[in-house]
Amino acid sequence: MTLTEYNFDGLAGPTHGYSGLSPGNLASERHAGASANPRAAALQGLGKMRFLTELGVHQAVLPPQPRPDVASLRRWGFSGSDAEVVARALACDETLVRWASSASAMWTANAATVAPSTDTSDGRLHLTVANLSSMVHRSLEAATTYRVLGRIFADEERFAVHEPLPGPGAFSDEGAANHCRLASDAGRVHLFAWGRSASGAARTAPRRYPARQTREASEAVARLNQVGDAALSWRQAPDGIDAGAFHTDVLALGNENVLLLHELAFVDAERLLGELGSRLGANFRACLARSDELPVADAVASYPFNSQLVTLPDRTMALVAPEEARQNPAALRYLERVQAQVPEVGRLCFVDVNASMKNGGGPACLRLRVPLCEDERNAVTARVFAGEALLSDLEAWVKRRYRDRFTLHDLADPEFLRELETALDELSTLLGLGSVYEFQRA
């Protein structure tokens, strides 16, 4: 059975902004309170999708979530009309509104963890929605993500969409940002990364920033996704987390038989590479960056490992990196070494996703990788696969519905709140998703 990978990109929402809500995400902290242009951010993301489509990479789209999340504000004790709820929350504690208005759902690498039907014991595609319980603002995403993915992958004979793990605590799950699927003729490996263990198995913890993913969550997701012996659970390096690698995809990137990583991505990286080599065989390729070649501060600042490594129609690979990696000499030298030393990587490209980078998300953060066979692709009836017609429709929708400036206090305007709901209602119709938003179901 032949698989084709589809990159499901998240759209920046109409209230895209910079709230600085994620300790350990250095870019997010640095740009907290910066002025935001939601229209430009969304068009930038669509531009990346269009670029990858032109390369021959298959694209799909996931919609923004309703922000502000008025339903959560109500659960936190505020009452009245939607406008009154937001106004009262702003007057009480602005942080509550920042949590409820975060742009974070656009980074769909955190939406779920995916196992293709070729790898699972029941022969279905499995998606386990991430609970994102380590951060308040991200934990608000899971319910809508579950409804959206359930609507897209609705055929239960072919797809299994699992609810988020019960959290927080022992089962804190950050999704595919801490998961990498590698494959060769010799086998498959689902590499699950974790930063802490609720049982205390990891004695050395990061000292500066929190470790978000637990070992227990990674192992539970592997069981739910039915990948069996293909699962390999490995610990993130505490020093890497303290340097700003809050997710593994900040310091490691894999595709098929190729793994790119920094020496601070995992504990005992050399032993990990040996284990992967024994499972994947002689054509496993790894390109390890050491700190004297690429200081971890440069890797975190410019995100060369948060690139997209994608397979092109001619079976070569393209490495699609953020512009910031081209502008950083150490990161650029490493990427050029990858292209020179890894024969599969035939092309190095750069894209401008600065609106996302300011919040700590490079090209890889913006997409959830979903490998589908032809029958599975045909079973998806929602209009989410990105061809020219859909991309043009989405660009027109963004230009019509998004503002070019957003501040938190714009939410005090009742007309703006109605404007946001009208925009998302129109989008859910455009994508053929039906009533996936809570305000549509009320």
> Cα(131)–Cα(14) distance, rounded to whole angstroms?
23
Cα-based torsion angle of the residue sequence 26, 27, 32, 38 in order, rounded to the nearest 10 degrees: -150
pLDDT tens track for 228-248: 999 999 999 999 999 998 899
> Cα(21)–Cα(32) distance, rounded to whole angstroms?
8
pLDDT tens track for 250-277: 999 999 999 999 999 999 999 999 999 9
Across 14-23, 335-344, 382-391, least confident range:
14-23
> Cα(182)–Cα(272) distance, rounded to whole angstroms?
13
Q: How confident is the model at residue 23 (pLDDT cuts 50, 70, 90)?
A: low
pLDDT tens track for 76-132: 999 999 999 999 999 999 999 999 998 889 899 999 999 999 999 999 999 999 999
Contacts of 75 (CB under 8 A, 6+ apart): none
CA angle 365, 105, 77 (to 5 degrees): 150
Specify the pairing of strand 317-322 against strand 308-311. antiparallel
Please give the structure tokens belonging to residue 155. Answer: 């055929």
Q: What is the pLDDT of residue 308?
A: 97
The catalytically annotated residue of 58, 247, 256, 263 is 247
Q: Does 201 have pLDDT greater than 90?
A: no
Residue (of 48, 82, 56, 46) closest to 67 by Cα position: 82
> Cα(110)–Cα(132) distance, rounded to whole angstroms?
8
pLDDT tens track for 301-346: 999 999 999 999 999 999 999 999 999 999 999 999 999 999 999 9
Does an H or E element contain 288, and which? strand 285-289
Number of other residues whose CB lies within 10 A of the CB of residue 365 = 27
Q: What is the pLDDT of residue 419?
A: 93
The catalytically annotated residue of 31, 58, 365, 376 is 365
For 150-185, give the DSSP string. HHHT--TTTEEEEPPPS-SSTT---GGGGEEEEEET
pLDDT tens track for 399-423: 999 999 988 888 989 999 999 999 9
> Residue 248 class from Cβ within 10 Å (0-12 exposed, 13-18 middle, 19+ buried)?
buried
Rg of the chain's alpha carbons, rounded to an integer? 21
The answer to whether 131 and 164 are in contact (CB under 8 A) is yes
> Cα(408)–Cα(96) distance, rounded to whole angstroms?
11
247 is catalytic: yes
Peptide bond preceding 206 in cis form (omega within 30 of 0) = no
> Cα(301)–Cα(304) distance, rounded to whole angstroms?
9
Residue (of 49, 109, 163) closest to 366 by Cα position: 109
Share of the chain above pLDDT 90, in %: 83
365 is catalytic: yes
CA angle 53, 57, 58 (to 5 degrees): 85
Fill in the DSSP letter of residue 223. H
Q: How confident is the model at residue 186 (pLDDT cuts 50, 70, 90)?
A: very high
In whole angstroms, what separates CA 244 from the centre of its chain? 16
- What Å distances lie between residue 442 and 81, 282, 437, CA to CA? 13, 56, 9
The catalytically annotated residue of 174, 256, 324, 376 is 174
